[in-house]
Chains A and B, each alone.
Chain A
Amino acid sequence: MKRILLVDDDPDILESLRMLLEESYEIDVALDGERALAEILARPYDAIVLDLMMPVLDGAGLLRELRARGVRVPVVLVSAARDLAARARALAVDEHLAKPFDPALLEDKLERLTGQGGAAVVSR
């Protein structure tokens, strides 16, 4: 099973997405960029779902740290930031989704990035 790291400072975002995705992926969560960095350096991830605005180390900061260390991991940027599309381009991330998003869209993006099918067995 592919492994995904969810990074967001809102515990309910982490919990709801974990519940949504846990049947298809191994899920880990981190409440800020610093903790996420420690997780990513500890084990490989197939994709990261990353919030932009977070305390301690924000999403852009985490991406900088990862690039400085030569770590390459697919990223879906999720944020309520107004200029999300422009920031996603500037940060050169693979995918982005504006909050609030359709959960199925996140699953589609993760499926593409990891090459693994999601919970498509349940009718929509």
Chain B
Amino acid sequence: MQATTMSAPRLPLDQYRVLVEHSPVMIWRAGLDAKCDYFNNTWLAFTGRTLEQELGDGWTEGVHPEDAPRCMEVFLSSFARREAFEVEYRLRHRDGVHRYIFDRGVPFEDEHGRFAGYIGSCVDVHERREMERRKEAFLSLIAHELRTPLTSMRAYAEVLRRRLAQAQGAPPEALDRLLAQIARFDSLVAKMSDGALLSADPRVAGGDG
């Protein structure tokens, strides 16, 4: 965004227009008032809305209601500090489905070096997010499914330990080893579901007994 590169374009100006309008990334611009005054064709093709509908705060109508407060908070607080920001949120696609997009905004300056607003670019990361979500759900499901047989394994092993103790005093070493392996399995399952929980749900409470 330096003035030097702006003043010495290596392409005719109308070709810059083609670059911006048909870039594979969605591009937006906001002015000093934090209101958007530009969206490229790629953005409009994604949302299926007109430029007039998206201008100002109109674009926020397409942001998923659950993501909108966080998205606006990141946008406005970064704007106030004039810092670059990165935010991921769900934006309504023209087919009506919300898709995860990754939005990166950077402050830009006018030809006199004065802060003039923000330019942002967004990419559709929906498939990647869905894959991560499915992976987390799968891990969590596996951990959950392992807990039931693990519960009966622990109970059976305890029954065995007691019965052997009653019959012959000291349980055989193999049983101690079996119990140690069950405990190991147990902690693996706990770690697995904690890991899945941590990335899937930030409200993870301490493991309740």
Q: Give every chain B residue within 8 A of A98 (Cβ-Cβ).
A: 207-209
User: A80–B155 contact, CB under 8 A?
Assistant: no
Interface residues on A, range: 20 to 34
Query: A19 is contacted by which of B147, B159, B209 (Cβ under 8 Å)?
Result: B159
Q: A12-B156, A122-B162, A122-B166 are in contact. List 7 more A-B contacts (CB 8 A).
A: A12-B149, A16-B151, A19-B156, A80-B144, A80-B151, A96-B208, A100-B154
Q: How many residues of B contact A (CB 8 A)?
A: 25
Top 4 closest pairs, chain A to chain B, by CB: A16-B155, A80-B147, A100-B150, A85-B208
B151 vs chain A, min Cβ distance (A): 4
Q: Give every chain B residue within 8 A of A84 (Cβ-Cβ).
A: 208
State A59–B158 Cα separation when bound (angstroms).
26
- Point out residues on A near B: beta carbons under 8 Å: 10, 12-13, 15-17, 19-20, 78, 80, 82, 84-85, 96-105, 119, 122-123
Query: A101 is contacted by which of B154, B159, B165, B166 (Cβ under 8 Å)?
Result: B154
Q: Give every chain A residue within 8 A of B147 (Cβ-Cβ).
A: 80, 99-100
B157 vs chain A, min Cβ distance (A): 9
State A82–B186 Cα separation when bound (angstroms).
16
User: A10–B152 contact, CB under 8 A?
Assistant: yes
User: B152–A15 contact, CB under 8 A?
Assistant: yes
Given A10-B148, A98-B208; A20-B155 close (CB under 8 Å): yes
Residue contacts A-B, CB under 8 angstroms, 28 given = A12-B148, A13-B151, A16-B152, A16-B155, A16-B159, A17-B152, A19-B155, A19-B159, A20-B155, A20-B159, A80-B144, A80-B147, A80-B148, A80-B151, A82-B140, A82-B193, A85-B208, A98-B207, A98-B209, A99-B150, A100-B153, A100-B186, A101-B151, A101-B154, A101-B209, A102-B154, A104-B158, A105-B209
